[in-house]
Amino acid sequence: MHRSDDIANLFNRFGGSVESYREIEPSYDYIEDTMPVVSEVPVSAPPALSLAPQPAEPLSVIPSSSRVHSGSTPLSRLLGEIEQQRGGVSSVQSVEQGVPKPKAKVVVVVSAKGGVGKSTLAAALACAIKRSGGRTLALDLDPQNALCLHLGGSEDWPGLARSESAGEDWQPLIRNGFSGSRCLAYGVVGEPQRRSLEQRLENDRLWLVRHLAHLALDEQDTLVIDTPPGATVYLAQALEIADVVLGVTLADAAAYTSLNQLDRLLAPYLQRENPAQYKVVINQLDTSRQFSLDLCEVLKKRTGNQLLGVIRQDHFISEALAYDRNPLAHTPSTRGCQDVLDLTGSLCELLMYGTPESSLS
């Protein structure tokens, strides 16, 4: 049967006439594909992209600067590294790379947490240290600005936080404290100025070294630095030049945790080729409580030969600030004051010979 007969039969079945039949040109096959299907646009790529090879144009979206520096370090980064090296901010080894430490012996008083009597002890050490022919300077790097108060000063004393440049001379800022000590306060400053100073310290690890170079400290002098608790830019500056790091803790339940934190904090500095000596002081021991005595024994075993001394709780020391007095000038000495004097003797032995006399009973 011919194709025309099939078509005629089909039209007759549906009541149509074969005269209305027209052949569809082959060029119009699949013409319905050109109709837009809006619902399919978000979930599929346009037909031109899916049916044709990807063009080369997308490579041109890579910035020309990236193509220039591929395989090499950008010049801006290299210049930044040179600038950082010139400013001395590259690593904790900066002082050992040719920048001289102060001639004076440097004692840095640290703690992992506040409330352990750190500033009170730093002031007492500044009053008690008497090295032959030398002077003692107490330097406050704690924004609380409390060290000067323990040395008979006031908040009105000018402080290092107001210094505007790394080369500014601190000598005019130094004031006389108890027992022939001298004090360089942190000073009272607003939050913007404090943040500005801390940013400066963050960018220049040798900021403290440069300032101390103007103070003409000699071999017989002693510098006692009070630092804020925990990890701060002030602590990092002080540890760069420390001869002895004195960690202060209490005989309480948090002692183990705080000492572990302090160990981790100091580790990068104590692992240097010529590290500072690290010693621990158990402060404000309450001998009236058996728990405190037991925990003190535990701490002694925990610290071993790192323990420099134990200072018993002494209200005469804690009340000295309220009466604006030097507790170490009291005669006869109270038990806590005597402990501080014994600790100072051990510390001076450590500074002079590298080996302390034990101040423990």
Q: How far is CA 353 from CA 59, 138, 152, 277, in A?
A: 69, 22, 31, 12
Separation between Cα atoms, residue 247 and residue 260, nearest integer Å? 11
Domain ranges for the chain: 108-353
pLDDT of residue 249: 96
pLDDT of residue 168: 77
Separation between Cα atoms, residue 170 and residue 137, nearest integer Å? 12
Mention every residue, 6+ apart, whose C-beta is less than 8 A from residue 134.
Answer: 104, 218, 219, 220, 221, 222
Structural contact between residues 216 and 109, judged by C-beta atoms closer than 8 angstroms:
no
Topology, domain 108-353: Rossmann fold (3.40.50)
Q: List the pLDDT tens digit at each of the 361 positions of the chain.
A: 555 566 667 666 666 665 665 655 555 444 444 444 444 444 444 444 343 444 444 433 334 333 434 445 667 667 666 766 665 444 444 444 545 688 999 999 999 999 999 999 999 999 999 888 899 999 999 999 999 999 999 999 999 998 766 567 899 999 999 999 999 999 999 999 999 999 999 999 889 998 998 898 999 999 999 999 999 999 999 999 999 999 999 999 888 889 999 999 999 999 988 899 999 999 999 999 999 999 999 999 999 999 999 999 999 999 999 999 999 998 888 999 999 999 999 999 999 887 665 444 4
Peptide bond into 332 cis (omega under 30): yes
Note the pTM of the prediction, 2 decimals: 0.72
Three-state DSSP string of the chain: CCHHHHHHHHHHHCCCCHHHCCCCCHHHCCHHHHCCCHHHCCCCCCHHHHHCCCCCHHHHHCCHHHHHHCCCCCHHHHHHHHHHHHHCCCCCCHHHCCCCCCCCEEEEEECCCCCCCHHHHHHHHHHHCCCCCCCEEEEECCCCCCHHHHCCCCCCCCEHHHCCCCCCCCHHHCEECHHHCEEEECCCCCHHHHHHHHHHHHHCCCHHHHHHHHHCCCCCCEEEEECCCCCCHHHHHHHCCCCEEEEEEECCCCHHHHHHHHHHHHHHHHCCCCCCEEEEEEEEECCCCHHHHHHHHHHHHHHHHHEEEEEECCHHHHCHHHHCCCHHHCCCCCHHHHHHHHHHHHHHHHHHHCCCCCCCC
pLDDT of residue 14: 63
How many degrees, rounded to 5, is the angle at CA 211 between CA 113 and CA 213?
120
The token duo for 245 is 């790091």
Separation between Cα atoms, residue 352 and residue 354, nearest integer Å? 6
pLDDT of residue 290: 96
Separation between Cα atoms, residue 203 and residue 361, nearest integer Å? 45
